[in-house]
């Protein structure tokens, strides 16, 4: 196999060493120009007393070096050594001032790391290792310094110039150029550095903190988006207040700024005082953004804001500790969304994502622990494991020590480590010290990859009124680890009697029953039996309530037991979960019936349950909409070995159509009722729930194959005053063939072609169409003027959605989907390695398909691997995928 020019090196956690040199102050001076920006960096450097080396090594990539001075003396070329990644200066004093001048070219930067040009904007992205593309620097998170940044540029072209911290000074040169100076008093690592310049609209507001300080809030966007800032500003104020109330965290600068950028690799970035956002994660108006967009914006604005403490004030020692800031901050944003909206809906969404994406990652070639032991390219580790499983791990700590103990623990953590770069272990130790709970075994969640499987056996002794529950745990081997030690798994549990009432929970050896209807068992051994006494009748256990641990439950539950839990469990999450498991049982049954050529039928027990779910439409529309959502084809594929893509698709369609026809009257009545209730768009949990249920009903009605329903769908689109209803209609139309669908798509584009966020939605609905010619359409869209390979949002909307969320077409029998993805990866890798590597993730579960498909995917992977000069990003992933097939 051809490797990149030099084979990329692997970095190991075990090799961590303290930095040899530390920086107290950084003075940066930028002469901005998209083609040719000059950067003068002046560092006050001192040697780390704990280390030996006298060589000062700085990171730097794709830089033109102009000069190096130590204490004002210009160094000659033979006084330092330069490679394509580093600058090495030997025999430096214990303490010195270092001045480095470099030239960079933002307009040539398509990787979107460092300083780059987006539209008419200059902006930065430095996490994880982008700062080294701006100047030579010890670009690692454990070097924290105080930054002062001066920016100079032509005033007409760059009226707004921003950096971290507070605005210190500004002025105008004689030649008409202007300059600004920003000072950030809080020491920070280079990955949190940010700069933005451009002609932008600003919307302002303010927030008074818990100690009475007034903070200026500013959102900067393109002028054409000036009407789309209200929601993000409101979300920011909600987040600031929530963090004070929930975690006692107060904001610490005079100003908090958010900038919307069109070309951005990630969702958003928490740079100190100057958050930079993917425009799609900040801009919203009812006509252009869906409920889902509103929800996501609120959550991401919260997430980035919360980083001010969990990430910025206390940061990571090294990138293996990435989950220190991300796992904890995701948990914080999940709590925030849950408190502001519906707790049940939030938990269901979180678990859905975890199961469909993180479990797949854990089961695939890229499996890694929440704290990985090694990596080639850190950008590949911004994963669902680090983020979502990391959040589950912190959430389990909270479950184990209780909410009050957790708050004590986080208070101690912030106090003890403010201004430091620390490890996940330091976090756990702080919680232990504050609560005196021993989390030694629990720490295995950070070092062991893989999804544990918890098997359940129960026994009820009627004469003694004793119920025993035997739980055993195993964890499948992952490429990095064959053997796993038992985890500490918190299992939340309740017991229900035959009428569905909660039963008292008294463990053997305890004098009294628990006060609550749910208790948390600690499963710490490979196998453990929990015995409950005074259990008057045979109970139905409700296990893993609220999904108390990120595990797979291996419990043999009959359809009638699942139906019983679906109807009676007091834990909303488990009601939903029982329904999902029932759906899965039914769908897998349909798949095997198809193979045996037996006539397909939907079991009566499911029909009955759906009927009673529909009766609750009035009382809990949000949960009903969730309960009616059939598990995705991808999730079903993960339940089968080998996954039969075509049968899964047909089974799912059959089930949906059958239910749609059977309950057409109910769906129609609920739809009509909710549609008549419609009022002016507002983003709140109630209205959102109603729109969600209404559009779920519409999707069933459309599945009934009744032409009248198409008219209903078109009417909804015509009458819609918000993007949620309009887009729901359009995606249903895009699944259909014929002139009406084509006309709807054309009309939508004509109306919205001026709006990038809406055009991305238009691209997505087409990439997700179930029509068999979708790949052709996708290829056509990539030639459309609205599409650019250089724009990550476009790439995700078309290539990403098609390959990840359109399984029936991506996994087409002829392998055309696979060949398509390989071609795109090869092109993208030259432009933007991070985005290329991310798209490659669509091949993650390649070994779960049949032999023919595996052979075709392997060919596609080999095609990518044989390219000359692959980026470390793509090299690492493609190598691991191929190694898994050997």
Decide whether 328 or 849 has the Cβ nearer to Zn ion: 328
Judge residue 596's burial from the number of C-beta atoms within 10 Å of its C-beta, 0-12 exposed, 13-18 middle, 19 or more buried.
exposed
Q: At what angle do helices 756-767 and 723-734 cross, to 10 degrees?
A: 30
Residue located via tokens 């990171």: 59
R_g over Cα of the chain: 28
Query: Residue 271 CB, nearest distance to Zn ion (Å)?
Result: 11
Q: Supply the minimum distance, in Å, between the C-beta of residue 191 and Zn ion.
A: 12
The 10 Å Cβ neighbour count of residue 359 is 20
**Tokens 């920003």, residue located:** 182
Cis omega (within 30 of 0) on the bond before 642?
A: yes
Nearer to Zn ion, 61 or 388 (CB): 388
Beta-carbon count within 10 A of 313 CB: 19
Question: Containing H/E element for 545?
Answer: none
Q: Which of residues 326 and 350 has its CB atom nearest to Zn ion in the complex?
A: 326
Minimum CB–partner distance for residue 266 and Zn ion (Å): 9
In the complex, the smallest distance separating the C-beta of residue 269 from Zn ion, rounded to whole angstroms, is 8
Helix (H) or strand (E) segment spanning residue 869: none
Pairwise CA distance, residues 348 & 622, whole Å:
11
Q: SS3 for 737-794, per residue?
A: CCHHHHHHHHHHHHHHCCCHHHHHHHHHHHHCCCCCCHHHHHHHHCCCCCCCCCCHHH
Is 97 strand, coil or helix? Answer: strand
Which of 312, 806 has the CB closer to Zn ion? 312
**Closest CB to Zn ion among 329 and 423?**
329
The whole-angstrom separation of Cα 335 and Cα 351 is 14
| 277, 268 Cβ separation under 8 angstroms | yes
Going by the DSSP 8-state scheme, the letter that residue 487 receives in this structure is P
Burial of 597 (0-12, 13-18, 19+ CB in 10 A): exposed
Q: How far is the CB of 479 from Zn ion (least distance, A)?
A: 26
Least CB distance to Zn ion at residue 326 (A): 5
544 φψ region: left (φ > 0), alpha (ψ -120 to 50), beta (else): left
653 belongs to the catalytic site: no
Q: Which CB sits closer to Zn ion, 326 or 392?
A: 326
DSSP secondary structure letters along 261-282: ESS-SSSEE--TTEEEEEGGGT
Q: Please state the closest distance from residue 538 (CB atom) to Zn ion, in A.
A: 47
For 205, 393, 486, 654, 849, the CA distances from 323, given in Å and listed in that order, are 32, 10, 21, 42, 31
The nearer residue to Zn ion, 300 or 674, going by C-beta atoms, is 300
- 329 or 429: CB nearest Zn ion: 329
Residue 238 near residue 298, CB atoms below 8 Å: yes
Q: Are strands 214-221 and 255-261 parallel, antiparallel or unpaired?
A: parallel
Find, among 493, 489, 527, 497, the residue nearest to 507 by Cα.
Answer: 493
Distance of alpha carbon 499 from alpha carbon 431, whole angstroms: 41
Determine the Cα–Cα distance for residues 265 and 130; give it in Å rounded to an integer.
12
Least distance from Zn ion to the Cβ atom of residue 387, Å: 7
- Residue 59 or residue 326: which is nearer to Zn ion going by CB? 326
In the chain, % helix, strand, coil (3-state, to 5) comes to: 45, 20, 35
Residues of this chain that interact with Zn ion (CB under 5 A) are 326, 329
d(CA 320, CA 474): 25
We find the least distance from the C-beta atom of residue 761 to Zn ion, in angstroms, to be 25
Could you tell me the CA-to-CA distances from 677 to 241, 673, 686, 722 in Å, in that order? 33, 6, 12, 15
Q: Phi/psi of residue 395, each to 5°? A: -60, -40
SS3 sequence of 110-123: CCCCEEEEECCEEE
Q: How far is CA 672 from CA 286, 668, 732, in A?
A: 22, 6, 18
Measured from the CB atom, the residue of 56 and 394 that comes closer to Zn ion is 394
Which of the residues 127, 218, 304, 326 is marked catalytic? 304
Closer Cβ to Zn ion, 329 or 451, answer by number: 329
Residues classed as catalytic: 304
């Amino acid at each position: 196999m051809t490797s990149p020019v030099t084979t990329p090196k692997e970095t190991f956690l075990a090799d961590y060493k303290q930095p040899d040199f530390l920086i107290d102050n950084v003075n940066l001076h930028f002469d901005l120009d998209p083609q040719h920006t000059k950067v003068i960096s002046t560092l006050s450097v001192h040697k780390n007393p704990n280390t030996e080396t006298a060589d000062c090594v700085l990171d730097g990539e794709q830089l033109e070096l102009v000069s190096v001075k130590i204490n004002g003396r210009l160094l000659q070329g033979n006084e330092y050594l330069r490679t394509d990644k580093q600058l090495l200066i030997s025999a430096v004093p214990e303490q010195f001032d270092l001045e480095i001048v470099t030239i960079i070219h933002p307009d040539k930067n398509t990787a979107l790391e460092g300083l780059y040009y987006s539209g008419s904007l200059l902006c930065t992205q430095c996490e994880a290792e982008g700062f080294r593309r701006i100047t030579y620097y010890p670009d690692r998170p454990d070097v924290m310094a105080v930054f002062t940044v001066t920016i100079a540029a032509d005033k007409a072209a760059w009226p707004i110039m921003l950096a971290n911290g507070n605005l210190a000074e500004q002025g105008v040169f004689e030649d008409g150029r202007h300059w600004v100076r920003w000072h950030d008093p809080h020491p920070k690592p280079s990955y949190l550095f940010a700069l933005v310049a451009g002609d932008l609209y600003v919307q302002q507001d303010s927030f008074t903190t818990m100690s009475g300080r007034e903070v200026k809030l500013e959102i900067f966007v393109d002028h054409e988006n000036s009407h789309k800032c209200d929601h993000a500003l409101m979300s920011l104020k909600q987040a600031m207040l929530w963090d004070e109330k929930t975690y006692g965290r107060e904001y610490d600068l005079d100003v908090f700024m958010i900038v919307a950028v069109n070309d951005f690799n990630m969702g958003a970035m928490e740079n100190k005082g100057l958050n930079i956002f993917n425009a799609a994660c900040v801009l919203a108006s009812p006509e252009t953004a869906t409920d889902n967009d509103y929800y996501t914006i609120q959550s991401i604005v919260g997430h980035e804001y919360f980083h001010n403490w969990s990430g910025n004030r206390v940061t990571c020692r090294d990138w293996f500790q990435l989950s220190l800031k991300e796992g904890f901050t995701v948990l914080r944003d999940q709590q925030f969304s849950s408190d502001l909206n519906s707790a049940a809906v939030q938990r269901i969404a979180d678990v859905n994502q975890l199961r469909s994406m993180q479990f797949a990652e854990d089961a695939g070639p890229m499996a890694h622990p929440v704290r990985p032991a090694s990596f080639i390219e850190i950008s590949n580790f911004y994963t669902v494991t680090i983020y979502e499983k990391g959040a589950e791990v912190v959430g389990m700590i909270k479950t184990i020590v209780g909410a009050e103990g957790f708050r004590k623990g986080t208070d101690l953590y912030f106090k003890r480590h403010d201004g430091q770069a620390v490890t996940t272990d330091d976090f756990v130790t702080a919680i232990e010290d504050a609560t005196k709970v021993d989390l030694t075994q629990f720490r295995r969640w950070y070092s062991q990859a893989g999804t544990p499987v918890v098997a359940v056996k129960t026994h009820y002794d009627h004469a003694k009124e004793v119920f025993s529950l035997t739980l055993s745990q195993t964890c499948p081997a992952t490429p990095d680890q064959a053997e796993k030690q038992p985890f500490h798994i918190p299992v939340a549990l309740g017991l229900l009697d035959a009428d569905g009432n909660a039963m008292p929970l008294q463990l053997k050896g305890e004098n009294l029953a628990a006060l609550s209807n749910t208790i948390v068992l600690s499963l710490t051994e490979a196998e453990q039996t929990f015995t409950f006494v005074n259990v008057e009748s045979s109970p139905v256990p409700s296990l893993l309530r609220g999904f108390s641990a990120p595990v797979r439950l291996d419990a043999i539950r009959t359809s009638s037991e699942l139906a019983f839990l679906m109807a009676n469990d007091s834990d909303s999450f488990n009601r939903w979960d029982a329904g999902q498991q029932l759906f899965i049982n039914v769908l897998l049954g349909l798949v095997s019936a198809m193979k045996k050529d037996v006539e397909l039928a939907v079991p009566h027990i499911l029909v009955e349950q759906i009927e009673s779910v529909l009766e609750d439409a009035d009382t809990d529309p949000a949960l009903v909409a969730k309960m009616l959502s059939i598990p995705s084809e991808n999730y079903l594929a993960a339940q089968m070995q080998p996954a039969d893509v075509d049968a899964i698709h047909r089974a799912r369609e059959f089930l949906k159509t059958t239910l749609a026809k059977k309950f057409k009257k109910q769906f129609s009545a609920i739809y009509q009722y909710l549609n008549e209730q419609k009022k002016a768009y507002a983003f709140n949990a109630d209205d959102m729930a109603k729109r969600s249920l209404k559009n779920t009903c519409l999707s069933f009605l459309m599945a009934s194959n009744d032409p009248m329903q198409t008219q209903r769908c078109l009417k909804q689109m015509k009458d819609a005053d918000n993007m949620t209803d309009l887009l729901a209609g359009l995606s249903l139309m895009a699944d259909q063939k014929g002139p009406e669908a084509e006309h709807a798509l054309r009309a939508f584009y004509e109306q919205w072609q001026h709006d990038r966020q809406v055009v991305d939605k238009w691209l997505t609905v087409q990439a997700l169409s179930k029509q068999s010619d979708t790949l052709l359409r996708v290829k056509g869209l990539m030639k459309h003027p609205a599409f650019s390979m250089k724009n990550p949002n476009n790439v995700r909307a078309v290539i990403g959605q098609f390959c990840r969320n359109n399984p029936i077409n991506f996994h087409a029998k002829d392998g055309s989907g696979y060949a398509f993805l390989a071609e795109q990866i090869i092109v993208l890798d030259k432009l933007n390695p991070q985005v290329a590597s991310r798209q490659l993730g669509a091949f993650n579960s390649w070994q779960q398909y049949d032999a023919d498909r595996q052979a075709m995917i392997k060919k596609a992977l080999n095609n990518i691997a044989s390219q000359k000069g692959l980026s470390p990003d793509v090299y690492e992933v493609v190598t691991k995928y191929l190694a898994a097939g050997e």
